[in-house]
Amino acid sequence: MTDLTTLEAELSASIAGAADAAAIEAIRVAALGKSGSISGLLKTLGSMSPDERREAGPAINGLRDRVAALLADRKAALEAAELDARLAAETLDLTLPAPPRRKGSVHPTMQVMEEMTTIFAEMGFQVAEGPDIEDDFHNFTALNFPEKHPAREMHDTFFFNPGLDGVRKLLRTHTSPVQVRAMQRTNQPPAAPWIAGAIEPPIRIIVPGRTYRCDSDATHTPMFHQMEGLVIDKGIHMGHLKWTLETFIARFFEVAGVVSRFRPHHFPFTEPSAEMDIGCDRSGGEVKIGTGDDWLEILGCGMVHPNVLRQCGIDPDVYQGFAFGLGIDRLGMLKYGMPDLRDMFESDTRWLSHYGFSAFAAPNPATGLS
Q: How many CB atoms are closer than 10 A to CB 336?
A: 12
What is the contact mask toward ligand DAH in residues 221 to 240, using x (rule: CB under 6 A)? -------x------------
Judged by DSSP in three states, 270 sits in strand
Nearer to ligand DAH, 15 or 227 (CB): 227
Query: What stretch of H or E contains 5?
Result: helix 2-17
Closest approach, Cβ 301 to ligand DAH, in A, equals 5
Judged by DSSP in three states, 357 sits in strand
User: Residue 257's closest CA among 268, 267, 269, 248?
Assistant: 248
| Contact status: 302 vs ligand DAH (CB under 6 A) | yes
Whether the Cβ atoms of residue 262 and residue 276 lie closer than 8 Å to each other? yes
| Contact status: 176 vs ligand DAH (CB under 6 A) | yes
Q: Which of 300, 332, 356, 363 binds ligand DAH (CB under 6 A)?
A: 300
- C-alpha 87/C-alpha 80 separation (Å) is 11
Nearer to ligand DAH, 111 or 179 (CB): 179
> Shortest Cβ contact with ligand DAH: which residue?
325
Nearer to ligand DAH, 200 or 275 (CB): 275
Closest approach, Cβ 327 to ligand DAH, in A, equals 8
Q: Near ligand DAH by CB under 6 A, which window of 105-113, 245-253, 296-304, 354-362?
A: 296-304
Whether the Cβ atoms of residue 108 and residue 370 lie closer than 8 Å to each other? no
Judged by DSSP in three states, 33 sits in coil
Closest approach, Cβ 182 to ligand DAH, in A, equals 12
Cis check for the bond before 202: say yes or no (omega within 30 of 0).
Answer: yes
**CA-CA-CA-CA dihedral for 235, 239, 243, 246, to nearest 10:** 140
Nearer to ligand DAH, 157 or 176 (CB): 176
Q: Near ligand DAH by CB under 6 A, which window of 46-54, 124-132, 245-253, 299-307?
A: 299-307
Describe the chain by its helix, strand, coil percentages, rounded to 5.
Answer: 45, 20, 35
Closest approach, Cβ 304 to ligand DAH, in A, equals 7
Nearer to ligand DAH, 324 or 355 (CB): 324
| Contact status: 134 vs ligand DAH (CB under 6 A) | no
Q: Which of 125, 252, 267, 355 binds ligand DAH (CB under 6 A)?
A: 267
Closest approach, Cβ 215 to ligand DAH, in A, equals 12
Count of residues in contact with ligand DAH, rule CB under 6 A: 11
Nearer to ligand DAH, 118 or 176 (CB): 176
- C-alpha 76/C-alpha 18 separation (Å) is 12
Closest approach, Cβ 292 to ligand DAH, in A, equals 25
Whether the Cβ atoms of residue 186 and residue 200 lie closer than 8 Å to each other? yes
Whether the Cβ atoms of residue 224 and residue 327 lie closer than 8 Å to each other? yes
What is the DSSP-derived secondary structure letter of residue 364?
B
| Contact status: 301 vs ligand DAH (CB under 6 A) | yes
DSSP 153-172: HHTT--BPPP-TTS--EEE-
Strand ranges for the chain from DSSP E: 126-127, 133-135, 169-171, 203-212, 223-233, 260-265, 270-281, 288-289, 294-304, 320-327
| Contact status: 312 vs ligand DAH (CB under 6 A) | no
| Contact status: 324 vs ligand DAH (CB under 6 A) | yes
| Contact status: 321 vs ligand DAH (CB under 6 A) | no
- C-alpha 176/C-alpha 206 separation (Å) is 10
Q: Near ligand DAH by CB under 6 A, which window of 1-9, 55-63, 93-101, 320-328?
A: 320-328
Q: Contact positions toward ligand DAH, by CB under 6 A?
A: 174, 176, 228, 267, 270, 300-302, 323-325
